[in-house]
Amino acid sequence: MAGSLVGLLITLLIVGVIWWAFTQLIGLIPLPPPIAQIVNVILVVIIALIIINALAGILGAGIALPTLHWH
């Protein structure tokens, strides 16, 4: 369980850095306010899905991604 919590913490840290970088960079691009808000909402939805998947993985209900097995 401790390993899962560390993994969740690292996931949240990475997502937080991506969020911070995106918000810093989107301010530098001259976009009309409605488009900037749409891009911001899309990013929030993507980040929320990543966090929900990470939390669901800890609870055992995450999305199982296929893995490659090399023989």
- Residue 41's contacts (CB-CB under 8 Å, 6 or more residues apart) are none
Q: What is the pTM of this model?
A: 0.65
Q: Which amino acid is at 45?
A: V
Measured distance CA(16)–CA(54) in Å, rounded: 14
Question: What tens-digit pLDDT sequence spans the chain (71 residues)?
Answer: 677 778 778 888 888 898 899 888 888 888 898 888 898 899 889 888 888 887 877 777 656 666 666 66
